[in-house]
A and B are shown apart, each in its own frame.
Chain A
Amino acid sequence: MRKRHAAGIGIGLALMFGTGPVEARALLTVCIDRASPLAAMDARIAQAAAVSQGYGLGIEYFDGQGLGDGAFASDSFRKLAGGLCQLVLGFPVDADAPLLPDGVEATRPYAQTGFVLATRKPQAAGALAGVPVGSTIGVIFETAPNLYFHDHPGLQPRVYRSSAAMIDAVANGTLAAAMVWQPSLALHGEAHPGLRTLAFQPLDGAHARWNLVALHGAESSAAAAVFEHGIAALHGTGQLAQLLAPYAVDQAADQAAAKPLPAIRPASGKAAVGQAGPGHLLAVAAVTAPRTAGKRPAIYTLEQARSGLMSYAMNCAFCHGAGLEGRTGPALKGEKFASAAANFLVGDIFFVLAMQMPAGKPGSLPKDEYAAVMAYLLQQNGYPAGKTLLDYEQALVSEVPLIYSGP
């Protein structure tokens, strides 16, 4: 489930040197989500890709929220991509819904992974269609495979909150099968070699397939091209498929063979990060221990909060009160709203704000207006303004605790 980290990104620059002295070589720098089940694989691939192009590799590990069940993202993507590293790994994009946040670019996919059907014995027929009617199939709460039961009414879903418990249930025969995020299955298999006996095959329903890409800002196009060349080289030697297994598969094969890479390729624009996780339509916010307020980061600008006040008055005040004190809807400031016990994160509240508000027309405001309203809520709950704009996509996954502190 989600892991927490105090604020910003975990520190610990791990420089992985190539064969020569680092100062003599150009360096490719990547940020990798330590909590992703793909972290180790991504590190190996990045290393191999860099070396193949004569580069050294610097890895900045950060602790995103995604582990196992795949909720991913960092509340400071741009901090990562803009300053600490050139490329960010560990943010798969939905192959069915390729949309990227503004200003974020993606390399050509270096692999594909996604949701798979895990069974104890190899299936004769394809995926769900081959499972005997009446079987109970495990599925992670609120992930895309929940959608597939609709077309397979003979199968009985059982909802799990964690991949580990679900995979164990397949292994011990409690479940006929489970629909699991392939990297989670692979990681679990590494820890428990007995699970390697599980068979799995890809699911082909909506939002089942996810592309692995490196994300970057426009300023890192050159680094992205180096990475893509490196991937092409690994693909050419067959090394890529080995590095990916059993987490993901090399999908570049045909495409790369047919079309050589351009020397410097502008990163393809709009593939996208799902709002809430790889394959999580639908991320689960885990309940964790209440925390204390601690230091309040400045994650919005004063101008945003001012603009947010205007939008709040237009769209929110009727229900939530002109001073956020609550009226027909709940108060949006104060100790009762943002209590330590409620354990709200900025991302939790912003998700509701952006997805379900205003109640009469959810999702109808421009993204920057939603971000501005969140800035106003932060201001009113005692958070300082700063130089950083609160960004829509970042706010959706922000793990900054929201706890009221005056005035």
Chain B
Amino acid sequence: MRISTPFALRARLPLSGIGLLMLAGLLPALAHAANPAYEAVTEARLLGAQKDLGWLMYRRDYTSSGYAPFDQINAANVAGLKPVFDYKTGLTQGHESPPVVNGRFMFITTPMNHLIALDATTGAVLWTYVHDLSKAALKTVCCDVVNRGVALFENKVYMATLDNRLVALDGATGKVLWNQQLIGADIGYAMTLAPLVVKGKVIVGVSGGEYGGRGFIEALDAGTGKRVWKTYTIPAPNEPGGDTWPKDAYKTGGGGPWLTGTYDAEADTLMWGVGNPGPWLATLRPGDNLYTDSVIAMNPATGKIKWHFQYTPNDSWDYDGANETVMVDLTYGGKPYKAVVSASRNGWFYAIDRTNGKLIYMEKFAKATSVTGHKDGKVTTDAALRPTVDKEVFTCPSFLGGKNWWPISVNPVTRMAYVPTMHTCMKIKGAAVRYKAGLPFLGESFTVMHDPDNPNWGSVQGISLDTGKQVWSHASALPWNDGTLSTGGGLVFSGSADGHFMAFDAKVGKVLWTSEELSSGIIGVPSTYMVDGKQYVAVYAGWGGASPIWGGDMANDPRVKGIPVGGHLYVFRLQ
């Protein structure tokens, strides 16, 4: 029987002043009276988010860089990083959200859609919102009841919910301003992503690739919550790309655009990754199955698709293309490109020309056998490694991916991407499938296993943006399921599954600092911000997500099974 190690048995981070912080939390009136002023997050601030002192959106800026220019904490002094405060959420599922910071206001979300505003320097609770999920059965949430954080605009904070609502709250007080339902709960969709605000619209995408949903991205008016446009990621038969599906199969075609996209302000283009096709078994849906496992570019005013690039055509391995879309300018083969890069589930690192959707390069960053490369810019797959109802195959990476949702970051100085990596393969075979609204729609059986050439489950890699090749790698016996944060201090921050938050030298990958053991494994996206001239780094511990549920041999590894659970935000700075 799987029982997590009791929290009390783990080494706890010693913290001074915790009693005072708890007192502040217990006295909301007092805390409220002391609330700092809330500065509006204007469109200009969003466009300039890279240079803002806070952390205004999921990946800090519209390019999804995960990079902050702050250098107060740097390679020379990071060893002196100390905890300032922590905040325990009381929930035991996966904690994935980045702390989003505007001035002194820090916003974190928890599993089951709680939203908490804290003082970013003390951890004092400013307000709390607990979304009412009492009517939702959460039957169509595949990979833990997670949430990946908020979006900010003007005076509002936005959270997308597991029951497919977008909630807008007043940032200063937590008062709910509106609560808009996009689509019913429990019929195939859920939302776990951080929304993205572009030009007065809040843009979100749904999860649902495992339940026969038909994915869509929807833009709502940021002021009123009214729908502005809705773009399906699976075209109908009469739309462009509709002929890449058996007619009518699109209705259950999946393609959940379940992570946050990117906005190219110069080109006025929204880019968004699209998830796997449904059911998993590809022989049931001949064709490329656009726009599954693709990045699509859209006009943010209308949602109209401008171009696309497909990472995995006719996917039979659950290789979602939903992963990050990071804008970088790079030079490849002596030519400069305006690119968008992504470390795809299928184990390949892609650079795509973001002006036209053409492939610049693709390089393996994990063992990858299902996808073999490309021919004239179109991705190719190994027909022999496609499972059927009569054939089990062993292929790599596993459906959990060379990398799952954990976002990469980039550093414009080192010209590298920092990629959390999983080293797994899988046995996979077709199975019977039935479609019924509200139930899984897979049609494959599978087991996640070790990459036979790699004894470790995980690593963190530095990959050159100009070549797509590995520069450094930090091996991890346990899986590495945490996104990365890059800083102008020449550092990369990321957390391990055994509860250590770490700083790497961005150039060579040397570990420069390791936190004490935090209360749980780390899957929360780290962020950094400046308040009153001091730089802070913040991250959630709170093991969960897809790996412990779907991870097969990896999840059953006693070292993984023994990872304690429980959500806990930790904030560090130099003393």
Contacts and interface: CB of A to CB of B under 8 A. Distances in A.
Partners in one complex: yes
Interface of A: 96, 136, 139, 141-142, 146-147, 149-150, 153, 156-161, 206-207, 275-276, 281-285, 287, 313-314, 317-319, 326-331, 336-337, 339, 342, 344, 348-349, 351-352, 355-356, 359-364
Contacts of A161: 248
A355 B548 CA distance: 19
Interface string B519-552: 0000000000000000000000000100011111
B447 interface: yes
B83 to A, nearest CB: 27
> Most chain-B CB neighbours within 10 Å: which of A136, A159, A313?
A159
Nearest to A155: B286
B442 A356 contact: yes
A206 B442 CA distance: 20
Interface string B121-158: 00000000000000111110101110000000000000
> Most chain-B CB neighbours within 10 Å: which of A149, A161, A327?
A327
Contacts of A146: 246, 283-286
Contacts of A362: 431, 442, 445-446
Interface in B315-329: none
A142 B249 CA distance: 10
A182 to B, nearest CB: 21
A330 B445 CA distance: 20
A356 B438 contact: no
Contacts of B141: 329-330
19 contacts: A156-B243, A158-B248, A159-B246, A276-B432, A281-B389, A281-B433, A282-B443, A283-B432, A319-B549, A328-B93, A330-B141, A339-B137, A342-B438, A348-B434, A351-B434, A355-B433, A360-B555, A362-B445, A363-B445
Interface in B271-306: 283-286
Contact of B432 (A282, A317, A344): A282
Given A284-B434, A287-B437, A352-B440, A158 B247 contact: yes
Nearest to A96: B390
Contacts of A96: 390
Given A313-B1, A327-B92, A360-B556, A157 B246 contact: yes
B335 interface: no
B546 to A, nearest CB: 9
Given A337-B137, A360-B551, A159 B390 contact: no
Interface string B233-249: 00000000001001111
A71 B283 CA distance: 20
> Most chain-A CB neighbours within 10 Å: which of B1, B436, B447, B556?
B436
A328 B549 contact: yes
Contact of A147 (B135, B139, B283, B436): B283
Instruction: Please name the 7 residue pairs, one residue from A and one from B, whose CB atoms are nearest each other, closest first.
Output: A157-B246, A158-B247, A336-B137, A149-B286, A285-B436, A159-B248, A328-B144
A80 B389 CA distance: 30
Given A287-B437, A342-B438, 6 more contacts: A331-B137, A351-B432, A355-B431, A361-B552, A362-B446, A363-B431
A360 B283 contact: no
A115 to B, nearest CB: 14
Given A336-B135, A342-B186, A359-B550, A318 B445 contact: no
> Most chain-A CB neighbours within 10 Å: which of B432, B446, B556?
B432
Nearest to B446: A362
Contacts of B143: 328
Nearest to A281: B432
- Chain B: number of interface residues, binned into ranges: 35 or more
Chain B interface mostly? loop
A282 B433 contact: yes
Contacts of B552: 360-361
Contact of B390 (A157, A206, A319, A360): A206
Given A206-B390, A282-B433, A352-B439, A156 B246 contact: yes
A285 B434 contact: yes
Contacts of B443: 281-282
A317 B3 CA distance: 9
Interface in B296-353: none
A148 to B, nearest CB: 9
A150 B549 contact: no
A364 B186 CA distance: 27
B548 A328 contact: yes
A302 to B, nearest CB: 22
A363 B432 CA distance: 11
A13 to B, nearest CB: 32
A344 to B, nearest CB: 8
Contact of A356 (B111, B248, B440, B544): B440
B144 A139 contact: no
A330 B284 CA distance: 27
Interface in B443-458: 443, 445-448
B432 A275 contact: yes
Contacts of A150: 283, 286
Contacts of A276: 432, 434
A275 B1 CA distance: 30
A198 B448 CA distance: 48
B435 interface: yes
B2 interface: yes
Given A159-B249, A328-B145, A360 B434 contact: no
